A and B are shown apart, each in its own frame.
Chain A
Amino acid sequence: MADSIEGIKKAKKLYLFIGTLLFVFTVVTVMVATVEWLDFGDHGFDWVDATIGLCIAAFKATLVMLIFMHLNHERPMIYFFYVLGLVMAFFCMWLIGWSKSDPIQFGNEIYSDGFYDLSKPATDVHGHGARE
């Protein structure tokens, strides 16, 4: 953290630059989602657009954390707290991914577009037991 007057003056320029970058990348996010020649993958929204959008968001978030929240030079204890929060957040996400492979709850056929075949009864791992 810049504590001298000189250091703070320098830091202010950096903050402005990062702010501008964040503005620019917000525009990029919207363009990737809406402008046709920037629409990667299939036409319209698909997993490629989701990945790109989330990568840009992650990049922007990293900038905010490193510069605005001063994580580019912090004490070790702060990193410990930060990683702790992150690990728990990702644990929540992992749980969801894990449930996706749960054969008892979600044993019915799923279409390629992610929807269940509602016309067929859901079955358990042994192939019996209907939804109704």
Chain B
Amino acid sequence: MEIPFIVNARKDTGLFNSKVGIWLFLASEVTLFGGLFSGYLFLRLYADYPWPERALPVLPGLINTFVLIGSSVTVVFAWAALKMREWRKFQIYMAITLVCAGLFMVLKGIEYNAKFGHQAVRLQGGGPVQDNAIVEGHLHYAKLGEDGLMVEVDEDRKKDDGVFKANRVLVKASEFSFVLTRPTHEAYVQEILRQAGDSKITLVEPYQVIDKSELSAGQMNRDQLVSSENAQVAEKGSELTIELLDDLEDSYLEARSHDRKIRTEFLSASWDWIRNEKGEEQAATYIVEKEVWKERRVEDGEKLKILTLRASSEVTFKVDPPFTLVLETGDLVKKANVDDSSVKLRDDTLVTGKVLKSPMIMGVDALDFRTTAQRAEAEALDPLPVIEGTWLLTHTPDHDSHDDHADSEDADHRNQFKKIWDCHMAWLKAEEERLKEKGRVPSRNDKYRVNWDQILAYGGLGYDADKVYQESKARTLKRAGLFSLDGFAGANHKIHKGEFPHLEIPRAKVGFESTFTPKWNTYYAIYFTITGLHGLHVIGGALVLGYYLFFGRKMYESNPEWLANRVEVGGLFWHFVDLVWIFLFPILYLM
């Protein structure tokens, strides 16, 4: 069948049909992205936290902008080449377009990957504004030492057995209670068994479905009601397996459904009795008023007690000897603190024992006090003293207490973050003086946020605030800046290994933690939503244009104008993809 009006225009519209189609589609796309952009606007206008302005590394975004603009040019060139019947040139231009699409996605991948591996923590507790200091950085790695406590290991060993990211909750487990009404524990049981090692996990009490069948069942035909299997399901000391838990769960559920059936039969038998005794009309009134009925109910209740099966919905296993269970924070129903005597997993499994010291350990590449400052201002407090009182700037690190110089007179009692902050204040002072000459003041970002390149610059001067002030004043302070390659996708912990300050955050101080994913805040939620959808458009567009390049030869030979029209339509979509990015780049990277 010949498709009409795909080469020549229709008289009434003056267009070939596929062009009408693509423009209708583009109109819907404009609306879709319009909706997402307005979503962005909404989240930003109503954000109750300091919006991450210019939070993304500019360079990958900038290169991607060039790449997409370049590909927009090559795609119209490819179309022009077809119009002039130059197949070879068409191939070249289209191939460049596809390479651009690939490059765009690779850069996007690098950016996403950096976000997934970058950790943020909002600290909590203490101070008039509940702290709210934010640290960003890179999680270190740890494993269990021989004493079952957490030991930090070098990142080179992250692929070794038993090495985990230093963001886990360690519990010395001595007992597990599983809830049989929640059939989701398989993954947890597997994990528990894997970690248990040589420890034995055994049932504390025999699990029985109790049935007092030897007592009288009265006029009820109990043989119909009670299944004959009601004995012990599992012996005391049975070892924990997934199959055992499945069996216990089945027995429990069977007992429950049997009980339901019995109750229904009792009710219906009672109702039959009362209808026979008093007749349909009187029955309801009789139930409410008469003593005889109450006696009957008591009698039935006794029988019910006898006939129903009773099984526990919880089974407890003891662990011998207790072992250290390493749990992801997301596995826990609520936050665990050191010395808690139990934690609850998401499937309501209760792990009894003792929560061990399980700090988050990270290399810190940014300090952000903007939320602290915002909350301080809301309380009509001066933000600076509040910031200086936060845990981050005042705590004494554990490993410093063994320092030989700790007691000597010239010992520097400030922790490393306080030193950074003091350097930052020195930098800010120089910056304030410089801007004052121009009648300007530093922005909130300048004041309350210390970026990775600042931390490195201050560290390069040995965290000496005076030197930082002098160098800032002379404008010779070496900062990596926006376009440096070593910060291509953000702070680079490989190049600057050991240069970022080490921080151990006690569990109790962790208010909220996440990688830079939608969980962290609404900025990253909308960032991933829009750029993700845009990335899918890039892939879709590249597939269509690639099809023309690799499978277009036959059509070119039989009907070149048709292929030219197809490329024009595909090109229109490609330009739209470019167009969206033209707005996305400044909005997400520069504002």
Shortest beta-carbon distance from B528 to chain A in Å = 20
Contact B575 A68 (CB under 8 A): yes
Contact B586 A81 (CB under 8 A): no
A53 to B590 Cα, complex, angstroms: 8
Shortest beta-carbon distance from B139 to chain A in Å = 30
When each residue 67-109 of chain A gets 1 if its CB lies under 8 Å from chain B and 0 otherwise, what string results? 0110000010110011011101111110110011000001000
* Chain B residues closer than 8 Å to A16, beta-carbon distance: 73
Q: Which of A1-17 contact B (CB under 8 A)?
A: 3, 5, 8-9, 11-12, 15-16
When each residue 37-81 of chain B gets 1 if its CB lies under 8 Å from chain A and 0 otherwise, what string results? 110011001111110011000100010011001101100110010
* Chain A residues closer than 8 Å to B84, beta-carbon distance: 5, 8-9
When each residue 31-75 of chain A gets 1 if its CB lies under 8 Å from chain B and 0 otherwise, what string results? 001100000001111000110011011001100110011000001
Contact B42 A96 (CB under 8 A): yes
* Chain B residues closer than 8 Å to A53, beta-carbon distance: 586-587, 590-591
Contact A43 B42 (CB under 8 A): no
Show 16 residue pairs from A and B whose CB-CB distance is below 8 angstroms, ordered by the A residue. Answer: A15-B77, A30-B62, A42-B441, A43-B441, A57-B587, A68-B72, A69-B572, A77-B13, A77-B23, A78-B19, A89-B34, A91-B34, A115-B378, A118-B375, A119-B378, A119-B379
Q: A89-B31, A115-B48, A117-B378 are in contact. Are A75 and B15 (CB under 8 A)?
A: yes
Shortest beta-carbon distance from B477 to chain A in Å = 15
Shortest beta-carbon distance from B566 to chain A in Å = 15
Contact B42 A30 (CB under 8 A): no
Contact B30 A86 (CB under 8 A): yes
Q: A92-B38, A99-B42 are in contact. Are A22 and B69 (CB under 8 A)?
A: yes
Contact B30 A42 (CB under 8 A): no
Contact A64 B14 (CB under 8 A): no
Q: Which of B559-575 contact A (CB under 8 A)?
A: 571-572, 575
Chain A interface size band reads 35 or more
A52 to B327 Cα, complex, angstroms: 49
Shortest beta-carbon distance from A81 to chain B in Å = 4
A71 to B303 Cα, complex, angstroms: 86
Q: Does residue B435 face the partner (Cβ distance < 8 Å to A)?
A: yes
Q: Which of B402-448 contact A (CB under 8 A)?
A: 435, 440-446
Q: Does residue A26 face the partner (Cβ distance < 8 Å to B)?
A: yes
A53 to B53 Cα, complex, angstroms: 14
Contact A85 B443 (CB under 8 A): no
* Chain A residues closer than 8 Å to B80, beta-carbon distance: 8, 11-12, 15
Partner of A88, one of B31, B45, B76, B575: B31
Shortest beta-carbon distance from B574 to chain A in Å = 9
A57 to B591 Cα, complex, angstroms: 12
Contact A23 B66 (CB under 8 A): yes
Partner of B33, one of A56, A89, A111: A89
Shortest beta-carbon distance from A4 to chain B in Å = 9
A90 to B27 Cα, complex, angstroms: 12
A-side binding surface: helix, strand, loop or mixed?
A: helix
In the complex, which residue of chain B has the Cβ closest to the Cβ of A105?
Answer: B46
A113 to B443 Cα, complex, angstroms: 12
A12 to B590 Cα, complex, angstroms: 32
* Chain B residues closer than 8 Å to A68, beta-carbon distance: 72-73, 76, 571, 575, 578
In the complex, which residue of chain A has the Cβ closest to the Cβ of B32?
Answer: A89
When each residue 1-33 of chain B gets 1 if its CB lies under 8 Å from chain A and 0 otherwise, what string results? 000000000000111000110011011111101
Ranked nearest first, the 7 interchain pairs of A and B with the lowest CB-CB distance are A89-B34, A44-B443, A85-B30, A85-B27, A19-B73, A92-B38, A33-B590
Contact B72 A34 (CB under 8 A): no
Contact B76 A15 (CB under 8 A): yes
Contact B579 A89 (CB under 8 A): no
Contact B31 A85 (CB under 8 A): yes
Besides A33-B586, A43-B446, A115-B378, 5 other CB < 8 A contacts? A5-B84, A16-B73, A45-B54, A68-B76, A86-B30
Contact B27 A84 (CB under 8 A): yes
A4 to B283 Cα, complex, angstroms: 97
Shortest beta-carbon distance from B493 to chain A in Å = 24
Contact A85 B582 (CB under 8 A): no
Interface size on B, residues (CB 8 A): 68
In the complex, which residue of chain A has the Cβ closest to the Cβ of B482?
Answer: A34
Partner of B23, one of A9, A54, A78, A90: A78
Contact B34 A92 (CB under 8 A): yes
Q: Does residue A114 face the partner (Cβ distance < 8 Å to B)?
A: yes
A113 to B578 Cα, complex, angstroms: 33
Contact B435 A26 (CB under 8 A): no
When each residue 512-525 of chain B gets 1 if its CB lies under 8 Å from chain A and 0 otherwise, what string results? 00000000000000
Q: Which of B362-380 contact A (CB under 8 A)?
A: 374-375, 377-379
* Chain A residues closer than 8 Å to B70, beta-carbon distance: 19
Q: Does residue A123 face the partner (Cβ distance < 8 Å to B)?
A: no
In the complex, which residue of chain B has the Cβ closest to the Cβ of A50?
Answer: B591
A91 to B69 Cα, complex, angstroms: 28
* Chain A residues closer than 8 Å to B73, beta-carbon distance: 15-16, 18-19, 68
A43 to B70 Cα, complex, angstroms: 33
A22 to B50 Cα, complex, angstroms: 32
Q: A96-B45, A115-B48, A118-B48 are in contact. Are A81 and B23 (CB under 8 A)?
A: yes
A84 to B516 Cα, complex, angstroms: 37
A60 to B233 Cα, complex, angstroms: 74
User: Which of A49, A88, A90, A111: most chain B Cβ within 10 A?
Assistant: A88
Q: A43-B435, A43-B442 are in contact. Are A60 and B41 (CB under 8 A)?
A: no
When each residue 440-480 of chain B gets 1 if its CB lies under 8 Å from chain A and 0 otherwise, what string results? 11111110000000000000000000000000000000000
* Chain B residues closer than 8 Å to A99, beta-carbon distance: 42
Contact B14 A61 (CB under 8 A): no
Contact B440 A43 (CB under 8 A): yes
Q: Does residue B83 face the partner (Cβ distance < 8 Å to A)?
A: yes
Contact A116 B48 (CB under 8 A): yes
Q: A5-B84, A19-B70 are in contact. Are A92 and B27 (CB under 8 A)?
A: no
In the complex, which residue of chain B has the Cβ closest to the Cβ of A19?
Answer: B73
Shortest beta-carbon distance from B430 to chain A in Å = 14
* Chain A residues closer than 8 Å to B482, beta-carbon distance: 34
Shortest beta-carbon distance from A64 to chain B in Å = 5
Contact B582 A61 (CB under 8 A): yes
* Chain A residues closer than 8 Å to B571, beta-carbon distance: 68
A9 to B81 Cα, complex, angstroms: 10
User: Which of A19, A96, A106, A119: most chain B Cβ within 10 A?
Assistant: A96
* Chain A residues closer than 8 Å to B576, beta-carbon distance: 69
Shortest beta-carbon distance from B31 to chain A in Å = 4
Contact A88 B441 (CB under 8 A): no
